[in-house]
Chains A and B, each alone.
Chain A
Amino acid sequence: MSEPRFPDEPLFVSAELTLRYRYGAGSEATHYLEGLKERMAFEGTRCPKCERVYLPPRPVCGICYVPCNGWLPVGPEGTITGATVVEVPFVDPVTGEQRPVPYGFAFILLDGASTNIFHFVDETDRTKLGVGMRVRPRFRAERTGSITDVEGFELIREEGT
């Protein structure tokens, strides 16, 4: 076995990929995203067996292995179940550009839902952001039928604070 070689000046070959994709949303997402766009409404799908209300909505309960039946309104307010302030820059998966930092980011349990969603939170002071806090959505004025029609969530501050 020969020892690894250590070139004095390593040579590199560059590559750049720009690829475009278009994903079919499916029936659950189409219903849900139309609700966000037209009525600023959140709806989950419900398991008839365990009665979990799933957000994101889905056709089958992964715990009971039975089809979900029917839509149930959830939210619009909710409770933070996990939170951070992201301070390290990284690539935004939608735009390919660096997302500006800092920004608040949280797991949110919308009222009436059994599962959390994650979203942006309008708070960049980590001492003011924590588990158990209440939030409400901030919708865009111009909505396109995307989960980004909700621009982020804002903290519901107690009266007098």
Chain B
Amino acid sequence: MPDVAIVGTGQTDHKSRRDDVNIPELAREAVDRALADAGVTFAEIDAVCFGNMDLFEGLAENEHWLASTFGAEGKPLLKFNTGGTVGTSTTMGAYYLLKAGFYRRILAVGFEKQAEGNSQGAITTVGDPIWERPMMAGAIGNHAVMASTYVADSGVTEEQAAKVAVKARRNACLNPHAHLKLPDITVEQVLESKMLAYPLRTLDMCPTSNGACAMVMAGDGHAQKLAARPAWIAAVASAHDQSFQGDSPKRMSEMRSLIAVRERLYAKMGITDPVNQLDVAEIYEPQSYAELAMCENLLFCEKGGGGRFIDAGIPLIDGELPVNPSGGVLSTNPIGATAMIRVAEAAMQVMGRAGDHQVKPDVQTALATGYGGNAWSDALILTARQPSR
């Protein structure tokens, strides 16, 4: 089966409002930038993979009227619909099609225009209507309960979580596409920001963003013609958890679906020491505590060591393993695009195209994850080296 690579990426400049454009225009900005980055036109795209969040903008089957936005008339257009992970699922769908040899070049697209919809209302309909919906506490209440399980098990402090919030918004200042840029943010400001649901304060949470992300992906023989240094997809993994929110005994403290994808990815890649074997990680961290919990679950540090991991500066942009040099989800969250942004940012790092937030001149191996509210996880490893060569 052919190797598959990302050969071009495009993002909007993510913002809290984009009243100047409609949804197709917003998505098209990212598509145009991805096509330009890869140096291709719609004519060279064989198929389109697209994902976005159901119900967030009150839309269903919007691929019908978005087809021309993606240049998809007369071509296969596949819609992906997996919630928070949709951006990674869409990427992996395109990967499977290219890997199977069906197509040469695929355009992958994700977007969200949250200012036009009712995201929290939509999220409360995600739970099972009989068993869970009446008690749903929205994304923030649910995340606060999950964070409390991690705090209880790890002893991570509010100050240590605040350091994650600070890191994200300072890194965002180096990223022209990032939404929430706070160059002078301090730990004290995070701790003084409004309490939403203990332990989560306003600055511990991701923002509500409007934006889009697109990528051009290509198979062996085509990828090399479109990029001097393609970001090869060396491994992918996806796993669901059980049906209900309370099924996973430790929730955020022990994220079963993330552990499942980690085990498969690391086994395939021979990774036993991720801090030394990975050059950068772009992980889907919806809030500050979650990033530390995810770093533990990804074995970036020992169990219960998330607080010491950030204290030691290991995930800083100039640290031993930079985590979310883009500013991450804490700085930018157009949900239907968010997980794809993790992949695109990881690809930019491998391709050497991350500009001011390029972590080092030669990123060989990058990890990207997608997160579906603990119910499921996706993860990909991108490499500068072509996997089969």
Contact of B131 among A7, A56, A92, A105 (CB under 8 A): A56
Closest to B143 in A: A84
Contact of B148 among A17, A82, A147 (CB under 8 A): A82
Closest to A96 in B: B121
Contact of B197 among A29, A85, A116 (CB under 8 A): A85
The answer on a CB contact under 8 Å between B21 and A105 is: no
Does chain B have a CB within 8 A of A72? no
What's the Cα separation between A94 and B135 when bound, in Å?
Answer: 9
The answer on a CB contact under 8 Å between A116 and B249 is: yes
Asked whether A25 and B152 contact (CB < 8 A) given A62-B242, A93-B124, A147-B135, the answer is no
The answer on a CB contact under 8 Å between B246 and A21 is: no
Report chain B residues within 8 Å CB of A84: 137, 141, 144-145, 147-148, 197-200
Does chain A have a CB within 8 A of B29? yes
Interface residues of A in 107-131 (CB under 8 A from B): 107, 115-120, 126, 130-131
Interface of A is mostly: loop
The answer on a CB contact under 8 Å between A107 and B134 is: no
Closest to B246 in A: A116
The answer on a CB contact under 8 Å between B242 and A91 is: no
Closest to A29 in B: B130
Interface residues of B in 222-253 (CB under 8 A from A): 242-247, 249, 251
Report chain B residues within 8 Å CB of A81: 149, 249, 251
**Residue of A25, A105, A106 with most partner-chain B CB within 10 A:** A105
Interface residues of A in 72-113 (CB under 8 A from B): 81-88, 90-94, 105-107
Interface residues of B in 75-129 (CB under 8 A from A): 118, 120-121, 124-125, 127-129
The answer on a CB contact under 8 Å between A119 and B145 is: no
Q: How large is the interface on B (under 10, 10 to 19, 20 to 34, 35 or more residues)?
A: 35 or more
The answer on a CB contact under 8 Å between B242 and A87 is: no
B43 to A: closest C-beta gap in Å: 15
Report chain A residues within 8 Å CB of B134: 93-94, 146-148
What's the Cα separation between A132 and B138 when bound, in Å?
Answer: 24
Does chain B have a CB within 8 A of A10? yes
Report chain A residues within 8 Å CB of B120: 90-91
Does chain A have a CB within 8 A of B47? no
Report chain B residues within 8 Å CB of A5: 20-21
Contact of B243 among A25, A62, A116 (CB under 8 A): A62
The answer on a CB contact under 8 Å between A87 and B195 is: yes
Asked whether A107 and B149 contact (CB < 8 A) given A10-B19, A62-B247, A87-B196, the answer is yes
Report chain B residues within 8 Å CB of A119: 135
The answer on a CB contact under 8 Å between B243 and A85 is: no
Q: Which 6 A-B pairs have the closest CB atoms?
A: A116-B246, A84-B144, A93-B124, A10-B19, A131-B152, A62-B242
Query: 9 new A-B pairs (CB below 8 Å) besides A105-B145, A118-B137, A147-B135?
Result: A29-B130, A54-B247, A87-B196, A87-B198, A93-B124, A105-B137, A107-B145, A107-B245, A115-B244
Can you report 25 residue pairs joining A to B where beta carbons are below 8 Å apart? Answer: A1-B36, A4-B20, A5-B21, A10-B20, A23-B129, A25-B130, A29-B131, A56-B132, A56-B244, A58-B243, A81-B249, A81-B251, A83-B145, A83-B148, A88-B141, A91-B121, A93-B125, A93-B134, A105-B135, A105-B137, A107-B245, A116-B246, A130-B148, A130-B152, A131-B149
